Structure 1
Amino acid sequence: MKRARLANGLDVTAIGLGSAPLGGLFTPVSDADAQATLEQGWAAGIRFYDTAPLYGFGLAERRVGAFLRQQPRESYVISTKVGRLLRAPDEGAAEDDYYKSGQRERPVFDFSHDGVMRSVEESLARLGLDRVDVLLVHDPDDHYDAAIAGAFRALQRLRAEGTVKAIGAGMNQSEMPVRFAEAVPVDCFLLAGRYTLLDQGALDALFPVCAARNIGILLGGVYNSGILANPRTSAKFNYQDADAALVARALALDALCRKHGTELKAAALQFCMAHPAVTVAVMGARNAAEVADNIAMSEMTVPQAFWQELRAQNLVDARAPLPGGA
């Protein structure tokens, strides 16, 4: 598998395994399926793994850690996130709409320096590892000042001490990471759903800033929560039900793929990986078959004629690089 350099000597595979599905995103995942997913990813050559306390309220970290503890520590790179502590919920707390993990604890935002240090300690305990390689401030959308004053101060300290090798933020928007890049010497961003066949907003400011400052992009949400995997049935876009206009655009892209004898998922993944700012495509999976499919989509032939027609029909931003230079 193609590899790239992220930061401070971190050698990563071009495809990573995201663990939100292993935390029961939308539907539960059995222990057996989680284990098979991780085994398939390893067998396919994946050596970058992303997790977070949020994913299944600790379940994803436990599952990923249990698997990676069986592997040589220097053979993989793992990232997790800070900004949420898992705590017992108040009496009568509502059920979560996203994660079906069976875990009792619920996430509580805490972007303070001390909160981040506690978060790292608790994540290491769940993972059963002595360190992680990448730490990301998770979803600080409404907490910019706290993230700058607290979370990033803690992360810079951990990086300076050599506890972690790379720091950054993981977000579902491309605007605030630009502000972080200008305020903090970050190494990478995990950007979810904001550079895809349906959304190229990252081209406006984030990707140029990252290129200028040598900041890597870990790209999640390549399929925009499923609409670019299957636009036909109960399509999701960025974790919500997709509106009719988005479904229509996805169906038009799918029709163009079919015209050229290829698949929408292959086009969606390879479009993202063609941008030089993208270091790793972080692909979620909930079973071994989905991992195998993700790898197959990265390798499937997408004809140059497809990319040329995609450009000619103005279906993507003219600034977006396409595979093969189409």
Structure 2
Amino acid sequence: MRHTTLGTSGTVRVTGLSFGAAGIGNLYTPVGAGQAREAVDAAWDAGIRYFDTAPHYGLGLSERRLGEALRERPRSAYTLSTKVGRILEPVPGDAATEPDDLDHGFAVPATHRRVWDFSADGVRRSIEDSLTRLGLDRIDIVYLHDPDDHAEEAFTQAYPALERLRAEGTVGAIGAGMNQTAMLTRFLRDTDTDVVLCAGRFTLLDQSALTELLPEAAARGRSVVVGGVFNSGLLADPRPGATYDYAAAPPALVERALRMDTVTRRYGVPLRAAALHYPLRHPAVASVLVGTRSAAEVRDAAGLAGLTLPDDLWAELRAEGLLTENGAPA
């Protein structure tokens, strides 16, 4: 398992494969406490030492479960990230309007409501709340979470607050996590972020991060963590009816993914392995974040990460017109 120091932080290191903890926060369907713990244990056994969570995931359930699983580990042996931008406010029992949180994607009781807050005070409060849920003494990386519709507050209040926390030594590295590239590129250009987390925009089916985001990161010596490498399902299991970015995959993309699958299998490689390896070919990418909800899924991801993919595979994908030259980093 390769390790990379993030950006210019000098101290915060991540493994090439990282554990995304949305799944153990009951993303879409319930996950038992035992299964969640087994998933984290399997990640540790596989050599994964970077774990990512957020208050948004299961209304804090992901943070609580991840903290419980990591608390007994040596604190210096792993890197933990969480996010700010959504404060969790308790909902009085008689005031709840929904029985569960499935409208937000999580199979948990609707005991809290999310309140957008990118103020400086909101950042500090969010980190304090996260530390309480995690039961840990510090957070290594803090991302501004989905500030798409809150740009002014994020750049003028939330980011400066993170910069002060980094200067104080409260956190080791700071950045932003989003499903788009334009604002993340702005963070790289206009701030001193160490890392950005880009979900779904640097995959075999969407290389839009190559236009500006990744060149900007490479030029400035910053790091990129890539999530959503399976585009929510299509690249993990290419077939009609698969999902792409959380919606039904368009037929043209299904056909393209199936053609990619044919090519990769000629080399004895499942498409999901190529999807996982592809972002790591770019020098600015420090880690690929894979969301897992069971020990079996963790072991599968670790096994895929351990494969060696031949250069001819990438060359054939390009020759077949399935990867543009701009979409094939050295």
TM-score, normalized by length of structure 2? 0.94
**1:8–1:166 Cα contact (<8 Å) kept:** no
2:97 to 83, 92, 101: 92
State the match for 2:314 in structure 1: 307
Q: 1:249 to 1:106 in 2, by over 3 A?
A: farther
**Deviation digits for residues 60-86 of structure 1, max 9, x if unmatched?**
000111111110110000000000011
Match of 2:78 in 1: 76
Q: Partners in 2 of 1:104 and 1:314 — Cα distance?
A: 49
Residue in structure 2 matched with residue 21 of structure 1 by the alignment: 23
Q: Distance in 2 between matches of 1:286 and 1:260?
A: 29
Q: Cα offset for 1:306?
A: 2.0
Q: Count the aligned residue pairs.
A: 323
Q: Deviations over 1:31-51 (max 9, x none)?
A: 111000000000111110000
Deviations 1:127-162 (CA, angstroms, capped at 9, x unpaired): 001110000000001110010111101101100101
Residue 233 of structure 1: CA displacement? 6.0
Segments of structure 1 that go 5 or more residues without pairing to the other structure are none
Aligned equivalent of 2:282, options 262, 270, 275: 275
Q: Distance in 1 between matches of 2:2 and 2:215?
A: 23
Q: Of residues 151, 161, 164 in structure 1, which corresponds to 2:168?
A: 161
- Please give the alpha-carbon distance, in whole angstroms, between the structure 1 residues aligned to 2:89 and 2:260: 43
Residue 292 of structure 2: aligned partner: 285
Shift, 1:116, TM fit = 0.9
Residue of structure 1 equivalent to 2:4:
4
How far, CA to CA, are the matches of 1:233 and 1:133 in structure 2? 41
CA distance in 2, matches of 1:113, 1:223: 34
Question: 1:96-111 maps to which residues of 2 (within 5 A)?
Answer: 96-97=102-103, 98-102=105-109, 104-111=111-118
Q: Which amino acid aligns with 2:76?
A: E
In the alignment, what sits opposite 2:54?
Answer: 52
1:320 paired residue number: 327
After superposition, the Cα gap between the structure-2 partners of 1:293 and 1:75, relative to the gap in structure 1 and judged at 3 Å, is: same
AA in 1 matched with 2:189: E
8 Å contact 1:56–1:103 — kept in the other structure?
no
User: For residues 132 and 269 of structure 1, do their structure 2 counterparts lie closer, same or farther at Cα, with a shift above 3 Å needed?
Assistant: same
Letter in 2 for 1:167: I
- CA distance, structure 2, for counterparts of residue 236 and residue 148 of structure 1: 33
Aligned to 1:218: 225
Query: Matches of 2:322 and 2:58 in 1, distance apart?
Result: 36
Which range moved further: 97-106 or 179-188?
Answer: 97-106
Unaligned runs of 5+ in 2: none
Confirm or deny: 8 A CA contact 1:8 1:165 kept in the other structure. no
Question: Structure 1 length as normaliser, TM-score?
Answer: 0.95
